Amino acid sequence: MHAAERERRIFEALRPTGFVSYRDLEVLLDASPATIRRDLTRLEESGQIVRIHGGAKLPEGDDASGPRLMGTSFDQNITQNLGAKQAIGKAAAALCQPGEGVMIDGGTTTLQMCPHLDGLGLQVLTNSLHIVNALLPQAGTRILLPSGAVFREQNIILAPAGEESMPRFHAPRLFMGAAAIGPQGAMQADPVLVAAERRLIDRAEEVILLVDSSKFRTQSGTIVCGLDEIDIVITDTGITPEMAKALQDAGVKLVVV
């Protein structure tokens, strides 16, 4: 293995949490301890990482450590396909008109919209506490919440069945995630999510689905809505031509980033 390849792997390991232990690298690089140390020393001298006893971390400032709420599966999902999700989030944010009101469903992909919403002066209605935390530092973004009980597994706010939980609200756009998408439509693993999302869908003019391409290769539980209810799908280049055609045949506008 070459030095360049090792460096690439080091950064790859570093990105999710901003830290790699020496032990991890020993397995990951399959190189001798001496070589690993030399790599780290070199990267530190060029200022790209900071070495600490037992490993290395990214320099302060550009670490991607976002809001960490709890040690749930959410934290694991958040780093999966992170690059694709970031690109999808950015594309989705570009669809927002300054000053308008939008709804954002909870999810690791929709979460990646938040950094790009700053300065747009939006009104965001969301049921996700993760998204609330991400938007809190943005002084110009107004955050609206529905009433209800906090559902810890997903960190979202769930209204009791049949209860009116949202202030009268209607939005031109709903940004939604999904556990899977196929010819039947968008799907979620947890049925309680379905009920929450149905309520959002009913209040939106336009439904925009944010899914990285791995979601096209998954089957998951309960159908949230058919393709006919989805207006736009934003995904990454991993989508197969067949899927793309199926979506377009169903009248869905497809955005590939």
Partner DNA sequence: TCATATTTGATCGCTATTGATCGTTTCGAA
Partner DNA sequence: TTCGAAACGATCAATAGCGATCAAATATGA
Quote the tokens at residue 16: 């999710």
Told to check if 129 binds its own copies by CB under 8 A, we report yes
Identify the DSSP state of 127: S
Q: Give the sign of the dihedral formed by CA 7, CA 9, CA 14, CA 19.
A: negative
The span of 1-9, 73-81, 87-95, 245-253 binding its own copies (CB under 8 A) equals: 1-9
**Shortest separation between residue 48's beta carbon and DNA, angstroms:** 16
**Shortest separation between residue 52's beta carbon and DNA, angstroms:** 7
| CB of 22 or CB of 151, closer to DNA | 22
Told to check if 34 binds DNA by CB under 7 A, we report yes
**Shortest separation between residue 173's beta carbon and DNA, angstroms:** 22
Give how far the C-alpha of residue 91 lies from the chain's centroid of Cα atoms, to the nearest Å. 12
The span of 21-29, 138-146, 159-167, 206-214 binding DNA (CB under 7 A) equals: 21-29
Q: Restricting to residues 164-193, which ones interact with its own copies according to CB under 8 A?
A: 164-167
- Residues with Cβ < 8 Å from 162, sequence gap 6 or more? none
Q: Restricting to residues 131-150, which ones interact with its own copies according to CB under 8 A?
A: 132, 136-137, 139, 142-150
Quote the tokens at residue 129: 């506490």
235 binds, among DNA, its own copies, none (CB under 5 to 8 A by kind): none
Which residues are 232's β-sheet partners? 208, 253
Of the candidates 8, 41, 94, 152, which one interacts with DNA according to CB under 7 A?
A: 41
Determine how many CB atoms are found less than 10 A away from the CB of residue 46: 8
Quote the tokens at residue 44: 């530190």
Told to check if 55 binds DNA by CB under 7 A, we report yes
Torsion of CA 179, 73, 107, 211, to 10 degrees: -40
CA atoms within 13 A on the CB side of 93: 20
Single out the residue of 219, 250, 206, 208 nearest to residue 242, CA to CA. 250
| Residue ranges that bind its own copies, judged by CB under 8 A | 2-5, 12, 19, 21, 52-55, 57, 68-70, 129, 132, 136-137, 139, 142-150, 152, 155, 157, 159-160, 163-167
| Residue ranges that bind DNA, judged by CB under 7 A | 1-3, 6, 21-23, 31-35, 37-38, 41, 51-55
